[in-house]
Structure 1
């Protein structure tokens, strides 16, 4: 079987994935969720003409010539408006955020006033509209404030609340079931026996899923038997995506693909022209009345995490209806790199965003057994298959690892 180019493999994954259904969440749970439909303001902001300063509400024509004395006839605080109307020769004590009384059209700041009992002397003029935030200056009722597809920030939550929304419509989080496979695996924190290793992949993958906006569900470790795999795969019912780690190659103990096929999965493709991560597969199966996307990742921790960034993260993005935050960016090489072979290479490196354009430094060693170098990296440099040697300053595509 020939190796499938990365771009074609990713296209085939995303072409069959569709955005999940919508749910309403309280504002306290909205940050980090993906907006399903536009946020339209229910009100004006400010909802009334509001004072921008502490001072006195006046008629601008009364303070056109100073100094001038005015009678203070009331007070307007935040949430406590003055109920009457201002008349000629009068002033209202007002505080920041207070509603500007009827008849007033300017605010004199308190630093420009001498107060003596019920009378003030204004020492500086104020023009119409001075120190007043007019109704709807920020946004108005029916304004579209946030477009659909945005990953909501704390600032988005703030404007959602300010515009009269107690809940926001978001796309349901994709549930991603994660299954580690292999007789050699031991849960982290437990002592290792001869030939055993710590089962790290599921924990790194769960963190990737959560960072991308999904909900991770750990299925545990399946041993290299059909019975163990079938038991764990059955526990993935209800998940939108089933991710397996290990057992994706063609060795005697690589049983994941046949176990999935026995469970009803239809294999779409197998083996990708990329490094690291050639033994990767993708398929679909019906599970719990819906389509489940099955992604088989290599067991090597570095390969597994890189393949997750290249394929799993965009799949989650498509299910959420947000794709562009996960795309490659443009940068230039800070150092030369050698010619590449027949598989697209994802080189670990460090990205310097302080320059324009950004500069990226690939690590000298790209051995897929070096987990520490993946931890140090913040990006992947995408080197096309059969690319010639490239000098410093050459433009390249870069995938950020921290999404």
Structure 2
């Protein structure tokens, strides 16, 4: 057997994942981006953000009703003359004359001289008068300036993952942009003479390139900015060129294909010369894996079978990428098997499964090329390497896809 095809001892799944985490953890110290508030959803604040103003900004009505002086309601019912209407957005300086009422809409500024609002449902109108049937105290149904937040008060702390409720508060105080941690930038590079883009008629021996699209979707779904998706044939010179373009644009590069034991493994051949570590991991699917640092940029190399590519991403890359994006970890749980299973000794198997109210079942077909079968799965079933078979009813770990 040639040295090219010598088989190194298989690394454990945890060992390989920790190696990836060690390479990507320094990306936590990324620079700050300034993004418009409407585009800040799902981003992580890089700095504390303080309110530039009081909110509410001015005294305003909490109800549709009538602005009056509480002193006018000492005896009820009482009929008062109507002096006009104040709509939300009114910018004029209105003054309430003593002994009168002004009709007012929710959110409209309270006129000078008024100190409470009577809800419309507690009144009766008759032409130019309103009869108020319930007494009110000063301050009733009035929103005072700064009741919600004061100028200089902390709105959101550094590290906050911005959810819709945060966006609402930050927009309400008039902020246009926010300081956020720049997202991790990733490039995807697929390889293989057999791959062609969608829309091109297939020749014998060709298949459509799904891995580039799938990896880009998985990265985006986990808080990563995909800066490029490229493809290289099995020509080493072309791969070197595409790799140089990817590492120049990204914080991390994901390759797919070219890492196994065949005669045309361009990724392994090129990256091994640059110090890349290639070899088997005790996992099924996705055994052939590679890790390299090229010009300071981590390059994660996954096998080219579509299911192997996606399972590799889910198991090895998704946890650290979600952590870097300040997204919550994917929870695991234990559920009963609905079908008996067999698993190869010595390899940690990740079977595709479908959750039901009664447990987890296996879609038909477990081959690493069966990407459509994987589309019908919604969890990975995690089987320890020392387990070779499990009966129906056994509890197994599952993680959502």
Provide the residue aligned with 1:328 in structure 2: 331
State the alpha-carbon separation in 2 of the partners of residues 203 and 51 from structure 1: 53
Provide the residue aligned with 1:243 in structure 2: 254
Q: Classify the secondary structure of the residue corresponding to 1:99.
A: coil
User: What do you get for the CA RMSD once the two structures are aligned?
Assistant: 2.9
State the alpha-carbon separation in 2 of the partners of residues 148 and 345 from structure 1: 39
Deviations 1:164-194 (A, max 9, x none): 3110112223322211111222222212222
State the alpha-carbon separation in 2 of the partners of residues 345 and 280 from structure 1: 15
Provide the residue aligned with 1:231 in structure 2: 241
The partner residue of 1:10 within 17, 25, 38 is: 17
TM-score (structure 1 length as normaliser):
0.85
Q: Classify the secondary structure of the residue corresponding to 2:287.
A: coil
Quote the offset at 1:366 in angstroms.
Answer: 2.2
State the alpha-carbon separation in 2 of the partners of residues 359 and 92 from structure 1: 64
Matches within 5 A, 1:299-318: 299-318=304-323
TM-score (structure 2 length as normaliser):
0.85
State the alpha-carbon separation in 1 of the partners of residues 225 and 365 from structure 2: 34
Contact residue 337 and residue 391 of structure 2 kept, 8 A: no
Matches within 5 A, 1:82-101: 83=93, 86=96, 89-101=99-111
**1:170 and 2:180 aligned:** yes
Aligned CA distance change for structure 1 residues 365 and 194 (closer, same or farther; 3 Å): closer
Aligned CA distance change for structure 1 residues 44 and 366 (closer, same or farther; 3 Å): farther
**1:347 and 2:354 aligned:** no
Quote the offset at 1:131 in angstroms.
Answer: 2.9
Aligned CA distance change for structure 1 residues 150 and 10 (closer, same or farther; 3 Å): farther
Quote the offset at 1:153 in angstroms.
Answer: 4.1
Q: Work out the number of aligned pairs and report it.
A: 388
**1:281 and 2:290 aligned:** yes
Q: Structure 2: any 5+ residue segments left out of the alignment?
A: 1-7
Q: Classify the secondary structure of the residue corresponding to 2:349.
A: strand
State the alpha-carbon separation in 1 of the partners of residues 206 and 289 from structure 2: 23
State the alpha-carbon separation in 1 of the partners of residues 289 and 332 from structure 2: 24
**1:205 and 2:227 aligned:** no
State the alpha-carbon separation in 2 of the partners of residues 36 and 108 from structure 1: 45
Deviates more, 1:222-231 or 1:72-81: 72-81
Matches within 5 A, 1:16-95: 16-17=23-24, 18-19=27-28, 20-73=30-83, 75-80=85-90, 83=93, 86=96, 89-95=99-105
Q: Classify the secondary structure of the residue corresponding to 2:276.
A: strand
Quote the offset at 1:363 in angstroms.
Answer: 3.0
State the alpha-carbon separation in 2 of the partners of residues 382 and 370 from structure 1: 18
Provide the residue aligned with 1:159 in structure 2: 169
Contact residue 37 and residue 169 of structure 1 kept, 8 A: yes
Contact residue 33 and residue 170 of structure 1 kept, 8 A: yes
Deviates more, 1:49-58 or 1:130-139: 130-139
**1:108 and 2:108 aligned:** no
Matches within 5 A, 1:181-192: 181-192=191-202
Contact residue 27 and residue 166 of structure 1 kept, 8 A: yes
State the alpha-carbon separation in 2 of the partners of residues 365 and 201 from structure 1: 19
Provide the residue aligned with 2:341 in structure 1: 338
Provide the residue aligned with 1:383 in structure 2: 383
